[in-house]
Amino acid sequence: MYFLGIDTSTTSSKALLIDESGAVVAVASSPHTLQTPRPLWSEQNPLEWWGAVSASIQSVLEKAGVGGEAVSAIGLTGQMHGLVLLDETGNVLRPAILWNDQRTQSQCDEIHARIGKEKFIQITGNVALTGFTAPKILWVAQHEPEVYAQAKHVLLPKDYIRYKLTGEYAMDKADGAGTVLFDLRVRDWSDEVLAALDIPREWMPPTFEGCQFTGRVSLEAAALTGLKAGTPVAAGGGDQAAQAVGVGAVEPGIVGLTVGTSGVIFATTPSALIEPEGRLHAFCHAVPGMWHFMGVMLSAAGSLQWYRDTLAPGFSFDELLKEAETVPAGSEGLQFLPYLSGERTPYPDPLARGAFIGLTLRHGRGHMTRAVLEGVAFGLKDSFTLIQQAGLGTITQVRASGGGTKGALWRQILASVLEAELVTVNTAEGAAFGAALLAGVGFGAWADVPTACRAAVKITGSTQPEASQIQAYRQAYALYGELYPALKASFGKMGALD
């Protein structure tokens, strides 16, 4: 008995096979290309996703040495927020507009104007941002009316893969909430928001909880992939919700922390909690009947990568971190703002800039390295603090993943800054692994998602806050919080000079 997780990310499509114990048996990946036809645009061809998925499924079955009949169920995940428009017969009308596309600021402003910003937050749990799906639909209506006139179906990237696998139009509730066309509390499409934006209700697919089955592999898809026709396909979840399942962040009090190029704080909530100003994303979880908060910073491990490549290109990361170990907590007053790509949480500001602040003659390379690590930790604490203030309650454990959490020094800094236990787990495949677990729950291999996570996700290490560092970091974080408000106007002027 095997379960297949498929992750259609921005860079590749991954297929991952697990057995009934939750152990990973084989993994395969096929790359995607990215098109940027104009400044701020980011697009992909959905047919390329399907080709990559088909190749990855064939490869993972070959690596595992099994046939498609061995796969009991399939779970789907992928990049969130991307717009896939299909016509009446299921043909793709234009390239998919992706999560990182920035062309829709005027449409975001229009959404707030039509509905009212505060009311929109209370319905959807979010402010309208350029990354989300709703403003992309408005952009197509306004700039490509000939395409809009042919549209009959709105899907997200992984749901296009579902359509190609099964012939069914469907979406999970976690990814659906990420379109910001959802009524967060109802866990389904908001008729009020759809009507205000002139989006036909019949364009939106039915929505399902993450482990519910939404269709079965068709004969055509079976012939292309090597899967068995009739294999059930679970709803799955957007990549962040599936990643949370993959590390076991599926119950209140357990927070997921991802330190990749960007950084994410993910917290399960038992009800539809909303941050009043929309500074946190509030979406449905892939866990049935649960919701989550999410805070996103745009340059986490990406800040360290930029620092090494730009200021210390001859050094390995290990060499730089060893120097930083000799520097006391707080970097002797040196601060780093990690806004190298603008910022998202808690400051949705594309003009925000990175900065070293407080340099003196006594500061050396070790201080600068440690300041980068601490600045990223403070940026993540911004989201962590908002989650605590928004009513989540006690946070008992932080489950860390991503390349930035591999180093002991950064894990220690994060634990001390967040003042919480930081643990690592045995699963490194994230979203695809979570999607496979959701499929297993749908098939009945585990009673529910928390049970599946307890069976398959094991803690491999723990880092406790360092008592001697906590006060120093509280003081440094308070100062960090003063810097962006003080520099916001200057950042805007710098943007005008570019």
User: Which are the catalytic amino acids?
Assistant: 239
Rounded distance between C-alpha atoms, residue 318 and residue 339, angstroms: 24
Q: Return left, alpha or beta for 205; rule: phi > 0 is left, psi -120 to 50 is alpha, else beta.
A: beta
Rounded distance between C-alpha atoms, residue 440 and residue 463, angstroms: 31
At 455, list the tokens. 């069976």
Sign of the CA dihedral with 240 first, then 400, 277, and 349 last: negative
Rounded distance between C-alpha atoms, residue 164 and residue 8, angstroms: 13
Q: What is the torsion angle, in degrees rounded to the nearest 10, for the CA atoms of residue 483, residue 484, residue 489 and residue 491?
A: 110
Rounded distance between C-alpha atoms, residue 179 and residue 202, angstroms: 16
Rounded distance between C-alpha atoms, residue 453 and residue 458, angstroms: 8
Residue 464 near residue 102 (C-beta atoms within 8 A): no
At 393, list the tokens. 């309650």
Rounded distance between C-alpha atoms, residue 376 and residue 374, angstroms: 5
